[in-house]
Amino acid sequence: MGRRKRRELKIVRKTIPEIFQCPKCGVKAVSVEITKEKQEGSPLAVVKCGNCGLTYTLVMKPLMKKVDAYNKFVDAFYSGELS
């Protein structure tokens, strides 16, 4: 008699999202584009909501990713810099 075969466990890894939720209108329609244009030696990030049109442009630092640019966008919105 043989042994039962053991199922392989699938490891599910979470990925960083590409589309985020807008803090103003609440719709999941915010995208982050990193442009090749350089200001102060660093690329620019344009964060824009496709539903309400809320935009924010910031200078990317060397280790920043799209999620970090989105977090700066949300911080700027809640601090009152954006309306």
Neighbour tally for 45: CB within 10 Å: 22
Pick the CATH number of 19-78 from 2.20.25.190, 3.40.630.30, 2.60.40.10, 3.60.15.10: 2.20.25.190
The answer for residues whose C-beta is within 8 angstroms of residue 52's C-beta and 6 or more apart is: 22, 24, 25, 27
Q: What is the mean pLDDT of the chain?
A: 91
What does the domain layout of the chain look like in residue ranges? 19-78
The larger pLDDT score, comparing residue 82 to residue 30, is at: 30
Residues contacting residue 27 through CB under 8 Å, at least 6 positions apart: 21, 49, 51, 52
Three-state secondary structure call for residue 66? helix
pTM assigned to the model: 0.80
In tens, the pLDDT along 22-60 reads 999 999 999 999 988 777 788 999 999 999 999 999 999
